[in-house]
Amino acid sequence: MTLRQPAHPPSARASTTDGAPATSAPGWLPTGASGDSDPDGVDDRDDLDDLDGPHEECGVIGVYAPGEEVARLAYFGLYALQHRGQESAGIAASSGRRIVVHKDMGLVNQVFTDTGLAALEGHLALGHCRYSTTGASSWVNAQPQYRETPTGGGLALGHNGNLVNTAELARELQEEPANDSELMASLLAREVDVSLEEAIVRTAPRFTGAYSVIVMDEERLHAFRDPNGVRPLQIGRLPAGGWVVASETSALDIVGAVYFRDVSPGEVVTIDGNGLHSRRFAPPNPTFCLFEWVYLARPDHRQDGGSVLYARRSMGRQLAREAPVEADIVIPVPEAGRDAAAGYAAETGLPFSDGLVKNRYVGRTFIQPTQSLRQLGIKLKLSPVREVVEGRRLVVVDDSIVRGNTARQLVAMLREAGAAEVHLRITSPPVANPCYYGIDMASRAELIGADLEVEAIRDFIGCDTLHYISLEGLIASTPHQREKLCTACFTGEYPIPVPGEHEQLAQIRFDFSGTA
């Protein structure tokens, strides 16, 4: 890669986690797309994770349940949300007098012990797992973010999404926050002489971007969602009467909560001893993230009357109708390609088999591979099953192609294992634009779909045929109408204006001659 462009509005100012001016990697640029000057052109921290393409952003869960072990419920909820963020995890809890926060770097099961959870007593709790789309991957950026208020109380905040007007808000605050979530917490905490709910109603309209937020003071739990509802946020009811709010229904399921309803775009929900009540801070204008359906959400997540698992099967069926091919077997790229591959196989009548095995325990790890091991690339994560692929014409189903490097390595690996032909089928249209709403997609200069036609991409990847699902076919696989979806990474039509995006669009085009 000869050029690396920031996948973030150029107007965003830079800071590091210690508040010092950043040099090459601005503090709230999405990591992995930071315009850094790493000599090998690779963000080393992400090398293994890049194999999975785009990265989730964060998962949040709030629990209000007097008489129950709320921190434990939040802990198990975070397990179900772990796929949305693996860098750090934290839980805040309160028994009405003060908020206690425990957070650290690592996976949920690395951060919490039995003793640590036991110290988080109370009737309400807030959990968060983080992937850094803005701000560095460091303890100070781990969430929940805690702030004291001028009246001597406190608040804890967990955020999923990404603001696009961080620089403007930071100027007003006259602070250099390490990330947009810290900024939101600071702006809410400085509202004096009003309740936290009132502070949200006053302050949230000034946040621009994607934000599904859970925030608590010592007594109450609040959840609010940007007017576009880009990221999910759902409410569930516990059997004994408590409440849970979480990023996905899978987190409700794991703690035994029954889905109640979504937090509506532009709504703030408050939960306290009087139950749940709602206020609106902006009219709803929903444009839900289409990519949640393709890749980000767990297959057992349900939204707007639809099931992610069935939507992905439908994408596979649609792809089979749009791009049939003479082949012997259909194999998924695990895990996100699995349900779509099953759909493709069902539609065509071709056999389905696991031709690739994922090493589940290589992922985000504190022990980084050496440079020589890193060059093994995809082989650290996926292995072909020779008995399945050898001598066969394969249909390989995956969710997306971002930079193209993983797909290229994958095809080479399958050919080495004896595949006679490799036909790649992708359940999203070409990713041609960066995401500013909380998904680390890489910069436009890195996106192979930004500038190359499908045939040129096929040539680069080295497969026999390559087909992407049509945008219309993808949308038809979800329960949404097109006007209710964000499709920006495919179409460039950003539903929430992004300062500086037009200048970004004019940037130098993708160069794959030296692709990492």
The contact set with ligand SF4 (CB under 6 A) reads 230, 289-291, 435, 437, 439, 486-489
Closer to ligand SF4 by Cβ: residue 90 or 438: 438
Task: Report the chain's terminal Cα–Cα distance, integer Å.
Answer: 6
For residue 330, what are the CA distances in angstroms to 36, 311, 462?
39, 18, 18
**Torsion angle in degrees (nearest 10) through CA of 305, 310, 311, 312:** 150
For residue 202, what are the CA distances in angstroms to 147, 206, 276?
18, 8, 20
Closer to ligand SF4 by Cβ: residue 352 or 490: 490
Asked if 128 contacts 144 with a C-beta cutoff of 8 angstroms, the reply is yes
Closer to ligand SF4 by Cβ: residue 154 or 286: 286
CB 478 to ligand SF4: min, Å: 11
Task: Using CB atoms within 10 Å of the CB of residue 246, give its burial: 0 to 12 exposed, 13 to 18 middle, 19+ buried.
Answer: buried
Closer to ligand SF4 by Cβ: residue 329 or 448: 448
CB 439 to ligand SF4: min, Å: 4
Instruction: For residue 58, indicate whether it is catalytic.
Output: yes
- Both structure tokens of 79: 């397990």
- Both structure tokens of 449: 């779909």
Closer to ligand SF4 by Cβ: residue 7 or 396: 7
Give the separation between CA 186 and CA 60, rounded to whole angstroms: 19
Q: Which of 58, 129, 289, 489 is catalytic?
A: 58
CB 335 to ligand SF4: min, Å: 18
Closer to ligand SF4 by Cβ: residue 61 or 439: 439
Give the separation between CA 61 and CA 228, rounded to whole angstroms: 20
CB 446 to ligand SF4: min, Å: 15
CB 109 to ligand SF4: min, Å: 28
Amino acid residing at 330: V
Amino acid residing at 391: G
Asked if 346 contacts 409 with a C-beta cutoff of 8 angstroms, the reply is no
At residue 81, the 3 state secondary structure works out as helix
For residue 352, what are the CA distances in angstroms to 61, 226, 295?
36, 41, 20
CB 6 to ligand SF4: min, Å: 16
At residue 335, the 3 state secondary structure works out as coil
Give the separation between CA 307 and CA 317, rounded to whole angstroms: 15
Active site residue ranges? 58
